[in-house]
Amino acid sequence: MSRPLLVLRAEPGASRTAARARALGLRPIVLSLFEALPVPWDAPDPAAVAAVAFTSAQAPRLAGPRLARFAGLPAYAVGPGTAVAARAAGFARVVEGSRDAAALGALLAEREVGPVLHLCGADHIPLLPLHRAVYEMRSRDVSPPAEAARAVALLHSAAGGRAFAALADRAGLDRAGIALAAISRRAADAACGGWEAVAVTPEPRDPALLAMAVPLCNNPARR
């Protein structure tokens, strides 16, 4: 039997990841370490904005009624999931980025789009001068199941890496029995060391991350 796969990201992404994992024959366990919550934000004058940038699907999902003021503008989304969320929020013109937030910033610079309003989370990597935090990730009080001691954990962010490392240590889990599959080197480094194995996907997309997790789940734990 394959090792369980811990899905640590917040909902609704966690359920989507779990569904993809089951389709690959894996055994996902959703253990969301955070929940995304909206925060009040001061919307700038839409007339002074040329486009909107989203680096997370949580931003268009949680930005609230003020977002409608910008729906007539082009939206730049970091990836396919974020693009779907932007369209669901009312944006008809959505440009999908090819990789990550840095690549999206490079695309905006190449096209000389500006000024661009970056709607993001409270804990974010600065991308553009004009930005507003529209949501925050709040820690959830969770306990790992017994199967976590020999699991493969998916890290979708640096915050997730830090939080999972703290949870594992707090619960007395042996890091040497747990493998990590990380969506970026930053996410992997945030979890520090001592794990059985750490794999970083070259493509920061959920399907690529899961594909990389398959051999980790199919290999027996070393301890």
pLDDT per residue as tens, the chain (223 positions):
689 999 999 999 999 999 999 999 999 999 999 999 999 999 999 999 999 999 999 999 999 999 999 999 999 999 999 999 999 999 999 999 878 888 898 999 999 888 999 999 998 878 889 999 999 999 999 999 999 999 999 999 999 999 999 999 999 999 999 999 999 999 999 999 999 999 999 989 999 999 999 999 998 766 5
User: Please, which residues have CB within 8 angstroms of residue 35's CB and are 6 or more apart in sequence?
Assistant: 10, 11, 137, 138, 140
Q: Please name each of the domains of the chain with its CATH number.
A: 4-33+140-218 (3.40.50.10090), 37-138 (3.40.50.10090)
Determine phi and psi for 65, rounding to 5 degrees: -65, -25
pTM: 0.90
- DSSP letter for each residue of 98-164: SSSHHHHHHHHHHTT--SEEEEEESS-----SSEEEEEEEEE------GGGGG-EEEE-SHHHHHHH
Buried b (16+ CB within 10 A) or exposed e, 114-144: eebbbbbbeeeeebbebbbbbbbbeeeeeeb
Containing 53, the helix (H) or strand (E) segment is strand 51-54
